[in-house]
Amino acid sequence: MQDIGPDPRKASAPSAAKKKAEKALLGCHAGPGVMEDAARSAGKSDTLDQLAADYPKGPHDQPQSMCPAFGALRVGLRMRRTATILSGSACCVYGLTFTSHFYGARRTVGYVPFNSETLVTGQLYEDIRDATKEIADPEKYDAVVVINLCVPTASGVPLDRLPPQIDGVRIIGIDVPGFGVPTHAEAKDVLAGAMLRYARKEIEAGPVARPRSLKDDRPTVTLIGELFPADPVGIGALLDPMGLSVAPQLPSREWRDLYACLDSRVAAAVHPFYIASVREFATAGRPVVGSGPVGVDGTAAWLEKIGAAAGVSEKQIDAAKSAALPAIRGALAGNPVKATVTVSGYEGSELLVARLLIEAGARVPYVGTACPKTEWSKDDREWLEAKGCHVQYRASLEQDLAAMKDVKPDLALGTTPLVQAAKEQGTPAVYFTNMVSARPLFGPAGAASMAGIVAAQTGGRARFADMVDFFDGVGTGETAGYTVPSRAAASPMSAGD
């Protein structure tokens, strides 16, 4: 491809394109700004500008998260009849596939390798196109997702030139560079939004297949965000008195579910960072409501906004609130949380969890989220701030650690490094993703879920203190790694000489 760079075999000296490609090959080691400069020089300015508009970074560049591309990879691997091909450095692809299988992906991930020559001459694009044609079997797949990682994006590999479909199989090409997408949570939206856009255009072009998951013809609400499996069922019960049901959620589990997502009466941005997806719902003429049905206050406000957006009567909204709120109030009363808790994470539900803890009786002075400030979390932020909670968007690990040190909580919910630091100082802590996100959050079930976590962890605080005292000084300074001999000890050589 000529716009990627000339064939170095025809040049007497290294070309500017080759030099840029060589810098791009350094990947994460290229240094701040080098990859982005290379990508813009290679024709990716529009892509990077859109990513920057959708997912603005924080004052400290970007949060400390796993490789962002994992989010997009996860979305594709969880969809039926969807193949995924990665284009990136071998070390990146290895890490991403390992992590994906660690989290339960039972599907092969395609990989198109490259070297400096295939990258500069444009052969990599040809290899990706050939691999896509080879895998696009309509008997096996509805869609093939091709993901550019950092180096191919920085080198300008043009996935937008791939054919939109091959033998009826949809081809979705996206760029998910670590220097352009701040967190893996937002990378989920990169792919979900691209798929929604493709599906929306299919709907506009003519009739599409009916999703098999639809059980009735009532108006629906699409839930945006990866939720605990029981939560959509619980939310469906909350919506039932208003004559509404839950659509297949986004990210979806199969292609035809995307049609049902777009055909909903209302979209609910339960996770507030799906900016590209929200844009597609807006283009399709669907109203979007933020926050979620968490606790008593959150559930009441959410039902009112969903009902108004869906055009149901005040009587139906009141019926839904009357059916839901007493049970949630009872669950909170029966499962009180008497502890000070700090909350931090990168899933997007941190503010909702903090709201639930406060309604259960906890003191939550700080909540940090790696996700950006958007209008879809405005209600949650204002509610939390009114309760004396500091909300930190685009929180860095250092900010989360400083808050924990200042607050001295009974329990810290956070990322792996924060949990490690907390336990080192004797503070009970749990990993937000594996422990909190793996439980229901909404309705009566959510109201009863947090008390058990807090009680189980804070009950062991004395044990943590004993362990900290017992291991005091071990693994630090001269006790770290191999034992360092005392300088006072005589060596064998010094004894007789």
Q: Are 174 and 193 in contact (CB under 8 A)?
A: no
Position 459 confidence tier, pLDDT thresholds 50, 70, 90: low
Query: What's the mean per-residue pLDDT of the chain?
Result: 87
Q: Where in the chain is the domain with CATH 3.40.50.1980?
A: 8-182, 220-324, 335-470
Q: What is the pLDDT of residues 340-362, one digit of tens each?
A: 999 999 999 999 999 999 999 99
Q: Which residue type is seen at 470?
A: F
DSSP bridge partners of 289:
268
The CATH class for the domain spanning 220-324 reads alpha beta
**Range in 68-72, 285-289, 298-302, 454-458 the model is least confident about:** 454-458
Buried b (16+ CB within 10 A) or exposed e, 383-400: bbeeeebebbbbbbbebb
DSSP 25-71: TTGGGG-TTHHHHHHHHTT-HHHHHHHHHHS--BTTBS---S-THHH
> Tokens 């004993």 map to which residue?
466
pLDDT, average across residues 295-318: 97
On the question of pLDDT at 108 being above 50, the answer is yes
**Conformation bin of residue 167: beta by default, left when phi > 0, alpha when psi is -120 to 50:** left
DSSP 389: -
Q: Judge whether 221 and 265 are in contact, CB under 8 Å.
A: yes
Query: Residue 366 has which token pair?
Result: 């700080």
Q: Which residue has the tokens 């071998």?
A: 90
Least confident range from 57-71, 228-242, 266-280, 291-305: namely: 57-71
Instruction: Give me the half-sphere count of Cα atoms (radius 13 Å) on the Cβ side of residue 87.
Output: 31
Measuring CA to CA, which residue among 257, 234, 253, 256 is closest to residue 245? Answer: 234
- Say which CATH superfamily domain 335-470 falls into: Nitrogenase molybdenum iron protein domain (3.40.50.1980)
pLDDT for residue 427 is more than 70: yes
User: Per-residue b/e over 74-109, b at no fewer than 16 CB within 10 Å?
Assistant: bbbbbbeebbbbbbbbeebbebbbebbeeeebeeeb
Residue 486: predicted pLDDT = 53
Q: Which two tokens stand for residue 65?
A: 């998260």
CA pair distance 175, 42, nearest whole angstrom: 13
Buried-exposed string 142-163: b where 16+ CB fall within 10 A, e elsewhere? bbbbbbbbbbbbbbbbbbeebe
Gyration radius from the chain CA atoms: 26
Assign 483 a pLDDT band (cuts: 50, 70, 90).
low
pLDDT in tens, 121-163: 889 999 999 999 999 999 999 999 999 999 999 999 999 999 9
In this structure, what token pair is assigned to residue 77? 């691997």
Confidence category of residue 19, pLDDT binned at 50, 70, 90: low
User: Does residue 416 surpass a pLDDT of 50?
Assistant: yes
Whether the predicted pLDDT of 285 surpasses 90: yes
CATH topology of domain 8-182: Rossmann fold (3.40.50)
